[in-house]
Chain A
Amino acid sequence: MVSGSDFLHVEGLSLALGGSLILDDISFSIGKGRYLGIIGPNGAGKSSLLKCIGRLYKNFTGSVSLEGTPLSSMTEKALARRIAWVHQTGSDSLPFTVREFALMSRYPWQKAIGGETLEDREIIDRSLETAGVSDIADRQLNSLSGGERQKALIAAALAQSTDILFLDEPTSFLDYRHQVETLELIERVNKEQGMTILLVTHDINLALHGADEILAIKRGKMVWQGHSAELLEKDLLSEIFETRFESFRSEGQLVPYVAPRGLVR
């Protein structure tokens, strides 16, 4: 194991849906405060893996534990106080303002009837500021551009006050500026707030340059886990994505960028 410590531990996780095996015996660990990028081609099972770990899917076999406690023994609310999510929401209607949505993410901390406390308010203000969406706090989520919306969703996830953040393809459909902003934001919460991050993406460069570690899966099987630099050294990328890659290293950069250069024949 790369991390050495057993903060979040996945053991023998398999998921079958409609008779076909989506995830096949996946085991790995990630240390506290680490940033793990889960990569793989379309349909490899990346999002499913994240959903099993976060117990949005419950019909898998194997186990997931957090600091030695099986997640299956935790209540939904207790789990939501540890893990926050930024889902792929695409163009789904979210008929609330940025601030309202952030308040809704305080749900696992709120009493049955109580409404917004002063503490909620402070946490929400801070989260909106961290994500840089304070100025659009009262705008409807449905009226925002893709980039603004993604930052607002991250702000809401931060307002949930967890120590772990799951992100499912957070940069798809974003233009370059918003991709960079979103990634910088994720790195910042990882470095400054010490949040443990699991991020699913099919964008290799994103994962290589943001994450501390990479977990690669292909057709439901775990292919590799390790530091991003090693992934390139071993030339595993072309095997995983069935594509030839060319890498470019700019000055002073440890990890190169890669670009696809045709199919593997």
Chain B
Amino acid sequence: MKRMALTSLFIFSLATVVVAPFIGMQQISLSDFLGGGDENIMRIMWDLRVPRVILGWITGSTLALCGLIFQALFRNPLASPDMLGVSTGAAFGAVVYIRTGIVFSLFNAVSGLSLAAFVGALAATFAIYAAGNLRRGGMSEATLLLAGVAMSFLFGSLNMIIQFTGGYIDTFRMMRWSMGGIQAVGFAPVFATLPALAVIFAVAFITAPELNLFVCGEDIAASRGVSVVKLRRLLFFTVSIVIGINVATCGPIGFVGLLGPHICRKFVGTDHRKLAVASLLFGGAFLVLCDTAARMLWAPAEVPVGVLTSCIGSIFFLWLLVRAKRNF
């Protein structure tokens, strides 16, 4: 099964991306699409559906890859970008932006909200790293992890304070933002997030041997010649910045980064070179599926996809966990 796993995942991932744009409130058949006659249908397809599906795929892949790297880095199956304060930091940026009521945008391309969220994510990243590093005797994986969790709670409560003091409309916008969602009109968000995905995939793929060793522990990695401290710093900042860019675009979307890599381990084992490819394929396909469901379930209303990923994903994961022979 494992030999075919990557091929199957590839076909599955490709199929979701190809099929998903045809599904929605306005059903679009293949002949509509190929005929290319109706201008409205083509507009729905190319301005809304296709960018949204691609953005969803990029986001899912990015989250799963970031989770994969963090789990290896921290040797902890519970490590994920949403847990480590980076997402909460981004939310803090967004909440402050909404609360202050300033409106601006960068070159009319990047919204002020996205920019504020990105700055929040960066601030959280540096704060976590500084806190993890302040300790004398250097930073261990455990201190960095705990610093991240503490920072996550700190930003979480700051967010709630700001929400509490805000007006109804602001508070609703903040809450809605923090649920995450894939929204795209045109390809601008795709171009904003694709480079980040390319970077994180390359990093995961290239450092796969090091990640394999990290999983076995810091001592084993170091004694095999891995520059543990340098590599950890590089991975921590790369993942944080990539997550920052993504959360700035789509808001925090839970679950994919945490459990996506675990599901991939079920399919391809523990080698990180295969896991990197599997996370790319599965993470993307999973989020596209969830987002399609989010568009359809309560149509014409849309459920925030972040709510669905956690709901569908957790049930799927529990099912895998119960029928698993091997422990994670």
- Interface positions of A (Cβ within 8 A of B): 17-18, 51, 54-56, 59, 75-81, 83-85, 87, 89, 92, 94-96, 100-101, 104-105, 107-108, 110, 112-113, 160, 166
Contact = CB atoms under 8 A, between A and B. Distances in A.
B223 A104 contact: no
Contact of A85 (B138, B209, B212, B223): B223
Nearest to B209: A107
Interface of B: 137-138, 206, 209-210, 212-213, 215-217, 219-220, 222-227, 270-271
B228 to A, nearest CB: 8
Given A87-B220, A104-B212, A112 B225 contact: no
A112 B138 contact: no
A95 B224 contact: no
Nearest to A112: B206
Contact of B223 (A54, A75, A101): A54
A110 B209 contact: yes
Contacts of B226: 76, 107
A92 B209 CA distance: 19
B138 A59 contact: yes
A81 B223 CA distance: 10
Contacts of A94: 216
A120 B209 CA distance: 15
Given A56-B219, A87-B220, A108 B137 contact: no
23 contacts: A17-B137, A18-B137, A56-B219, A56-B222, A59-B137, A75-B225, A75-B227, A76-B225, A76-B226, A76-B227, A79-B225, A85-B223, A89-B216, A92-B217, A94-B216, A95-B270, A96-B216, A101-B216, A104-B213, A104-B216, A107-B213, A112-B206, A166-B223
Given A96-B271, A105-B224, 8 more contacts: A18-B137, A79-B225, A85-B220, A87-B223, A96-B216, A104-B212, A107-B224, A160-B224
A104 B226 CA distance: 11
A77 B221 CA distance: 11
A104 B224 contact: yes
Contacts of B219: 51, 56, 85, 87
Contacts of B271: 96, 100
B206 A84 contact: no
Ranked nearest first, the 4 interchain pairs of A and B with the lowest CB-CB distance are A80-B225, A108-B225, A85-B223, A77-B225
A239 to B, nearest CB: 32
A113 B276 CA distance: 14
Contacts of A59: 137-138
A257 B244 CA distance: 63
Contact of B206 (A85, A108, A113): A113
A83 B206 contact: no
Contacts of A112: 206
A92 B227 CA distance: 21
A167 B221 CA distance: 16
A110 B213 CA distance: 14
Given A89-B217, A92-B217, A96-B270, A84 B137 contact: no
Contacts of A104: 209, 212-213, 216, 224
A87 B224 CA distance: 11
Contacts of A17: 137
Contacts of A80: 223-225
Contacts of A101: 216
Most chain B beta carbons < 10 A, residue from A56, A89, A100, A104: A104
A107 B207 CA distance: 11
Contact of A95 (B213, B215, B222, B225): B215
Most chain A beta carbons < 10 A, residue from B209, B210, B225: B225
A96 B212 contact: yes
Contacts of A166: 223
Contacts of B224: 80, 104-105, 107-108, 160
Contacts of B212: 96, 104
Contacts of B206: 112-113
A204 B285 CA distance: 59
B19 to A, nearest CB: 34
A203 B104 CA distance: 70
Contacts of B209: 104, 107, 110
Contacts of B215: 95
A83 B270 contact: no
Given A17-B137, A18-B137, A107-B213, A84 B270 contact: no
Nearest to B219: A87
Contacts of B210: 107
A83 B206 CA distance: 25
Contacts of A113: 206
Contacts of B222: 55-56, 76
Contacts of A56: 219, 222-223
B278 to A, nearest CB: 15
Nearest to A19: B136
Nearest to A78: B225
A198 to B, nearest CB: 13
A75 B217 CA distance: 20
